[in-house]
Each structure stands twice: as structure tokens, then as C-alpha cells.
């Protein structure tokens, strides 16, 4: 039996189609780009890579299309040491894609879900042993909500804690909110969550990412803040996914919440140094060295 923490991720897999440009186009405007490249992405896949690089054994439950992107994306998981027995290939369906425009250290993204819409409760139930045998389950909202609900039910029945990254934001069913160990919104998602009648009841389970301002969370009834870091920003795509994957790996490995948040915050800061969501994701050793340097922002 592995001594590594075991994280199971249920989520999306995309091929990112990225173009860089000096100017973000306005509505109806055409501008010239500079570079175009493809990179493996999808919030679920990104988080899986981040967790694996932070030292976790990672299982993935998801779906790919019967196309060239699907073959490339499956191979990418294998290259990263992520187990793919829970990934189904859906005939006559395209793999998910994300079209990303990068300009002035910011991004705009259009996601076409493709096979991710076929990650059904039936697929999750087929691979439920991966959930039951994990130390932590991590999910996002790029697969159908009924699949999120089914995963939470299986994890809760098995006593496996769940981290839910509520992105892209959707209203969350009561069953989901009541059975997740942690919910990790950014500031925009947090504002939307405040409309939920159960919002006050989950305050101590919220871990709020605030970009270069750091992270806010509650530990043992006390509100805590971890500041941001001074880093050279190249591409912010995937920073939140890096945070969530690293957080899941650290908590699955038995770290305290404060230590896990600190490590995840540092991993996210390191991730923005290179183009592409997964390219800049750091190893656990990278994060440990970075934390020792302690380059906090002022």
C-alpha cells in the first residue's frame, strides 16, 4: 500500500487553445495575435496535475472524446503519473476545449465542455471504489451538477472528506453544501455565494482565494489571513487550480489547515511564472524552497 496521500478528483479535462496578443479585442474587433499554442487543461485536470506534483497519488474520474485531443490528454495524465482507470472515452463526442486570450497579464476564456458533459453519476458509480479508497476528494463545477451530488453522496457514506471548488460558479444544492469539508471560492464566487440561505452556516468551511492578496480562512473558530507573494506574473491561468490541487494533496497527507493553505498559496504564486495552466505548476520541493525564502507582498 502506498504511503503517499491518495486524492481522487472528479472533474473536467480540456485542451487549452491559447493565443497571446498586445490588445484584448473589443466586441466586434479583430486584432493581431502574437503566439498560439495548445496545452492540456480543464479545471479538474489542472488540479490533478497540481496534486500529483505536490506528492499525492491521484486518481481521476472524468471523460474524454474519441478524438486526437482525447489521446493526447490521456497520455498527459500518464506522463504526470496520474491514474486513468476512471476516465471514460465517449464515442462520437469531442474532448473539452478552452479557448484562452492572454493580454496584459490577464485572460478571457471560453469553454466548450464536449465530453465533460458526459461525466454522469453512472460513471462516478462505476468507479466509486476510487472515491471510497481515497484520503480526499476534490471537485469543481465543469461537470454536471447531478454528478457533483452523486460524488458527495458516495464520499459522505464512506467518510471521505470533499473539497469543492465552486468554479465556474453555480448555485449549490443543500446536500452538497452540507457534506463538503471545505469550499474554496475566489472573491467573485464568494460574492455570488452570499445569496445562498445556507451561506452563514458554512463560514468555517470557506477558504477564500484573493489573488495576489492571498487567502482567508477559518481555523479552530478563528479567522486567518495568509498574504500574497511578490512574483513576476506571466500567466494567471490555472493559479486557482494549482491552489486547490496543492491544498487537497497537503490535507490528504495530514497537514494542518494553516500549513496546507500556506503551501497551496505558495504553489499558486509559483504557478503564474510561465505560460499555460499546467506548465508552471511547481513540485513539492519547489514550494518548500519558496516558503523558506518567504517573499511576501507588502
Reported as a single tens digit per residue, the pLDDT across 161-211 is 999 999 999 999 999 999 999 999 999 999 999 989 999 999 999 999 998
Mean pLDDT lowest among 104-113, 182-191, 196-205, 285-294: 104-113
Residue 145 scores a pLDDT above 60: yes
Residues that are catalytic? 241
Q: How far apart are CA 206 and CA 217, in angstroms?
A: 6
The topology under which CATH files domain 6-24+34-293 is: 3.40.1190
Q: What is the mean pLDDT of residues 113-117?
A: 97
The pLDDT of residue 298 is 44
Residue with cell 468507479: 127
Residue with cell 460524488: 151
What confidence category does residue 70 fall into, taking pLDDT thresholds of 50, 70 and 90?
very high
Domain ranges of the chain: 6-24+34-293
Residue 296 scores a pLDDT above 60: no
Strands 14-20 and 35-41: antiparallel
C-alpha distances in Å from residue 280, one per residue of 56, 120, 157, 180, 269? 18, 31, 36, 29, 10
Q: How far apart are CA 1 and CA 171, in angstroms?
A: 39
Residues in Cβ contact with 278 at an 8 Å cutoff, skipping those fewer than 6 apart: 39, 40, 41, 45, 46, 49, 76, 238
Residues in Cβ contact with 7 at an 8 Å cutoff, skipping those fewer than 6 apart: 48, 51, 56, 57, 58, 59, 134, 135, 136, 137, 138, 245, 248, 249, 252
* pTM of the predicted protein model: 0.90
Joined together, the cell numbers standing for residue 224 give 486567518
Amino acid at each position: 500500500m502506498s504511503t503517499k496521500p491518495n486524492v481522487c478528483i472528479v472533474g473536467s479535462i480540456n485542451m487549452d487553445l491559447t493565443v497571446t496578443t498586445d490588445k484584448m479585442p473589443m466586441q466586434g474587433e479583430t486584432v493581431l495575435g502574437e503566439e498560439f499554442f495548445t496545452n492540456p487543461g480543464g479545471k479538474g485536470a489542472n488540479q490533478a496535475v497540481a496534486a500529483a506534483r505536490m506528492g499525492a497519488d491521484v486518481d481521476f474520474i472524468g471523460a474524454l472524446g474519441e478524438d486526437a485531443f482525447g489521446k493526447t490528454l490521456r497520455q498527459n495524465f500518464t506522463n504526470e503519473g496520474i491514474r486513468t482507470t476512471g476516465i471514460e472515452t465517449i464515442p462520437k463526442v469531442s474532448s473539452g476545449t478552452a479557448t484562452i486570450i492572454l493580454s496584459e497579464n490577464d485572460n478571457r476564456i471560453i469553454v466548450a465542455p464536449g465530453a465533460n458533459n458526459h461525466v454522469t453519476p453512472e460513471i462516478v458509480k462505476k468507479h466509486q471504489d476510487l472515491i471510497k479508497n481515497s484520503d480526499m476528494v476534490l471537485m469543481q463545477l465543469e461537470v454536471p451538477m447531478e454528478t457533483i451530488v452523486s460524488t458527495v453522496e458516495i464520499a459522505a457514506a464512506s467518510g471521505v472528506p470533499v473539497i469543492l471548488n465552486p468554479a465556474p460558479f453555480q448555485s449549490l444544492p443543500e446536500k452538497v453544501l452540507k457534506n463538503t469539508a471545505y469550499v474554496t471560492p475566489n472573491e467573485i464566487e464568494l460574492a455570488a455565494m452570499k445569496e445562498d440561505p445556507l451561506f452563514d452556516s458554512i463560514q468555517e468551511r470557506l477558504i477564500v482565494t484573493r489573488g495576489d492578496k492571498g487567502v482567508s480562512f477559518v481555523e479552530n473558530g478563528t479567522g486567518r489571513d495568509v498574504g500574497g507573494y511578490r512574483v513576476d506574473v506571466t500567466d494567471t491561468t490555472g493559479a486557482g487550480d494549482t491552489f486547490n490541487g496543492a491544498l487537497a494533496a497537503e490535507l490528504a497527507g495530514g497537514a494542518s489547515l494553516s500549513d496546507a493553505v500556506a503551501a497551496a498559496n505558495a504553489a499558486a504564486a509559483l504557478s503564474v511564472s510561465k505560460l499555460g495552466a499546467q506548465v508552471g505548476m511547481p513540485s513539492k520541493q519547489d514550494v518548500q524552497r519558496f516558503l523558506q525564502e518567504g517573499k511576501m507582498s507588502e
